[in-house]
Amino acid sequence: MSAVRQSRRRSGPTVARASTRPTSRDVARAAGVSQAAVSLVLGDKWRGRVSETTAQRVREAADSLGYRPNLAARNLRLGRTRTVLLVVPALTTEFFAGVYTGAARVAGQHGFGVVLYPSPEGIGPARDPFASAQAALDGVIASSMAADALSAIRGDQLPLVMLDSDPAAGVGAATVNLDIADGVRQVARHLLDLGHRRFLHLAADVASWTFEVRARELAARLEDVPGASLRTASSPISIRGAEAAAGAALAGGDRPTAVVCDDDQLAAGVYKAARRLGLRIPDDLSVTGLDDLALATAIDPELTTVRLDAELFGERGMRALLAVLEQRPPEADDIPVDLVVRGSTAPAPD
């Protein structure tokens, strides 16, 4: 019995040590660095202060020990909640789900959480989802929103990163954009090379900088092309609305041979209108979209459209906000986009 008690006595401290949560001091000892270096690496503030090799050694030591920083204590010290608000126009398409996924991925890598908040009216004033947003948030990322739509949420205190917004407007601390103008240029070049000269622009009926860019760029591409003409019809961003708008535009004389749509949903509406009018795509009418949603390959023929990388868009938005919070300059270049040519475009009919 005495031997058993002695065995328990000997094993007791070992068990206690094994159950103790590892500390930053343990990580520093295992990695052979100072606690300050551990704090810099795990707080993602090591660049320019410690070497890549040292940072990797600290991360490996932390993983091996199962060490996780006490974020609650750190946040209390820094006066931060490590929570970001992502405001999107709506959750009606997968595009904004992709934006959220990308932003949340980068946020998670840096110990932040992302709260997703759709503006109640799609694009317009967004109500404050918190009793006091400035106390509950570290920053805001807003997609395709007017500046005054955010005043109730952020006041003039919270850092703001704008997505799909005019960089010259000076709204927010940083702006992240997709290269929408280049996407429209790719569409125009593709259709012109196919011999199209009579164009219809089915434009989203939304007052937003990104849609203004699409209209302006398309008009500029066609302005100096001999024999080219451009008509515009507006539509809400819905298949039913686009069917009605396109039906009215295609039923008149001097019918276009190509329809350039601001969105894949609008293109799907054009398909329905064309079918009702007895027009074949692409034999009688070429159609292009913009987004490359799952819808683009679900319709027949599959849609020629501009692919926008929604997840990369969200990632870049979150990285820009992290840079603002750390007082670093964010990336300045627009995100490249690509035209995906499928079966909805063909040479212009005679």
What mean pLDDT is predicted for residues 71-76? 46
Higher pLDDT pick, 93 / 309: 309
What mean pLDDT is predicted for residues 294-315? 96
Higher pLDDT pick, 21 / 339: 339
Supply the pLDDT for residue 299. 96
Residue 269 has pLDDT above 50, yes or no: yes
Supply the pLDDT for residue 69. 64
Chain segment 200-229, per-residue pLDDT in tens: 999 999 888 899 999 999 999 999 899 999
What mean pLDDT is predicted for residues 327-345? 94
Secondary element (H or E) of residue 248: helix 239-251
Going through the chain in order, the beta strands assigned E by DSSP cover: 83-88, 113-118, 139-143, 160-163, 174-176, 198-204, 229-235, 258-261, 286-291, 304-307, 338-340
Give the chain's mean pLDDT: 83
Asked whether the bond before 349 is cis by omega within 30 degrees of 0, the reply is: no
Residue 17 pLDDT class (50, 70, 90 cuts): very low
What mean pLDDT is predicted for residues 127-132? 50
Supply the pLDDT for residue 293. 93
From the CB of residue 30, how many other CB atoms can be counted at a distance below 10 Å? 18
Chain segment 147-174, per-residue pLDDT in tens: 455 655 554 567 889 999 888 877 778 9
Supply the pLDDT for residue 127. 52
Distances (CA, A) of 208 to 1, 21, 85: 81, 51, 20
Higher pLDDT pick, 129 / 236: 236
Q: Of 44-58, 77-91, 218-232, 279-293, which range is least confident?
A: 77-91
As a 3-state breakdown, the chain gives helix, strand, coil percent values, each rounded to 5, of 45, 15, 35
Are the C-beta atoms of residues 275 and 333 closer than 8 Å to each other? Answer: no
Residue 8 has pLDDT above 50, yes or no: no
Supply the pLDDT for residue 80. 60
Task: Name the residue type at position 16.
Answer: A
What mean pLDDT is predicted for residues 123-142? 61
CA 262 to chain centroid, in Å, comes to 17
Q: In what order do the strands lie in the sheet containing 83-88?
A: 113-118, 83-88, 139-143, 160-163, 174-176
What mean pLDDT is predicted for residues 68-82? 54
According to DSSP, the β-strands at 229-235 and 139-143 are: unpaired
Residue 263 pLDDT class (50, 70, 90 cuts): very high
Residue 50 has pLDDT above 60, yes or no: yes
CA distance 283 to 274: 11
Supply the pLDDT for residue 19. 46
